Amino acid sequence: MSTVENGLRSLWEKVKRAGELIGTLREENRSLRVRIDQFEGELRKLQLELQKRDQTIKDLTVSHATAKASGATFPDGEREALVSRVRDLLSRIESYL
């Protein structure tokens, strides 16, 4: 009878430890899911920002092509400012990626 009781006690302790471990793992899982949701939200935000910047670049490219085709030129310093702005946008995009 004693060996049965010892076996049951040992089994109970193992079950108890397994239950504690399962609880810990569930909590860790919840925490990781929250972090995943945060990262996915940040990713969506950055993707939208990237799309807006891509659209800005496309718009500027079309404007430039239209101006070039019509023979229009940039006033003094405007071209350099635009080039600087585009480079700044590209460097920001690269830093996010």
pLDDT at residue 93 is higher than 80: yes
pLDDT at 56: 92
Distances in whole angstroms, Cα of residue 88 to Cα of each of 8, 11, 23: 70, 65, 49
Summarised one tens digit per residue, pLDDT across range 6-20 is 999 999 999 999 999
Non-local (6+) Cβ contacts of 56 within 8 A are 89
Summarised one tens digit per residue, pLDDT across range 37-84 is 999 999 999 999 999 999 999 998 888 778 777 766 666 677 788 888
pLDDT at 29: 98
76 and 36 Cβ atoms separated by less than 8 Å: no
Query: Any idea where the domains of the chain sit in the sequence?
Result: 2-96
pTM above 0.85, yes or no: no
